[in-house]
Amino acid sequence: MNSAQDNAPRRKQFPLRQLIGVGISAVCLVLVFRKVDIGQLRAALENFKWHFLALGMASLAIDYAVRIQRWAVLLRAGDAEVTGWACTAPFLGSITLNNVLPLRAGDLVRALVFPSAIGVRRITATASLLLERLVDMLTLLLSLGIGLSLSPLAHVPEWLGRSVAGLAVGGCVALFMIVALHRPVLKLLASLHAVAERRGSSKIGGAIALLIDLTRDAAGMSRPRVLGALVLLSAIIWVGETGLFWAVLHGLAIDATFPAALTIMAVATLSTLVPSSPGYVGPFHLAAYSAAVMLGGSPAQSASFAVLAHLGLWLPTTLAGSIAILAKPALFKGRSVARPDA
């Protein structure tokens, strides 16, 4: 009885989160399409120059190939013995799960479920994911700054400026703490662990031990040499993703420079931080549409751009990840590893 009662609140809360996300997505889509003439939208899509999409897909392929290698570099910096090829299936599989499930469930699976299938500790995978996300956010903010300084999109709304500044400060502080303060943090955690052990608090001691492992792995992944490689690979990744945006813009005959496409890519990608339905539907479309309008595209062109850019990102990665999951069902079964989690 107690178990059923404990589970009841969870059944109520989880759909509520989904409903909030779906509601946000619906509002964003209404804001995009309410003033768009359907006939003009159809004409813009029919006149799309599809050879540009081939260029965009090639750029996206480079983007994700480098993402996989970057994850392998991070895992090896955490003392895992993996190759880029071994990381391919779990990485692409997690992207597919992110695309079709709510609350970025794919990230959780990549951190806690897939690692055992490739002989990686869950703690190491979690540390790699946290550092990957942190560097991605900082690289995107830098991309936004570079794009704005070099493109016609010079006017930044006040709310966007504040949000970007807040994210940049928070990200820099977090990275500084990982790089410069991990030793005192480890000493503090070790002291707390010793106290917990003396008092016989096994659960608290176990939790602190996990934090020690997580901090140690994150510190290894943020060594100057590794961090330099991480920043370089991240720059290549976001240039590759910008290539898709640039190709879609030109396919719709929107005159856009590469810095302008870089700006739109950064704004649209940062919008996925907003809660929404699976696949980031809604916030992505609204951000991409608004940026394209500011660039000079008509409402129909801009709405077409938002739809095609989202589809160009979502469909190929979802298909690739689905194939990876089907080809390697053992990803969900895992296997025993030589180095168990602390």
Q: How far is the C-alpha of 288 from the C-alpha of 281, rounded, in Å?
A: 11
Q: Can you tell me whether residue 50 is helix, strand or coil?
A: coil
Question: Given this model, what pLDDT does residue 168 score?
Answer: 78
Question: Given this model, what pLDDT does residue 305 score?
Answer: 94
100-105: Cβ within 8 A, 24+ apart: 100/278, 100/279, 100/318, 101/278, 102/17, 102/18, 102/21, 102/277, 102/278, 103/17
Of 329, 325, 316, 338, the C-alpha closest to 57 is 316
CA atoms within 13 A on the CB side of 322: 9
Question: Given this model, what pLDDT does residue 179 score?
Answer: 80
Question: Given this model, what pLDDT does residue 157 score?
Answer: 63
And the tokens for 41? 């939208």
The residue with tokens 């720059």 is 235
Question: Given this model, what pLDDT does residue 278 score?
Answer: 84
Ranges of residues in the chain with a pLDDT under 70 are: 1-15, 17, 152-161, 334-342
Question: Given this model, what pLDDT does residue 154 score?
Answer: 52
Q: Residue type for 225, please?
A: R
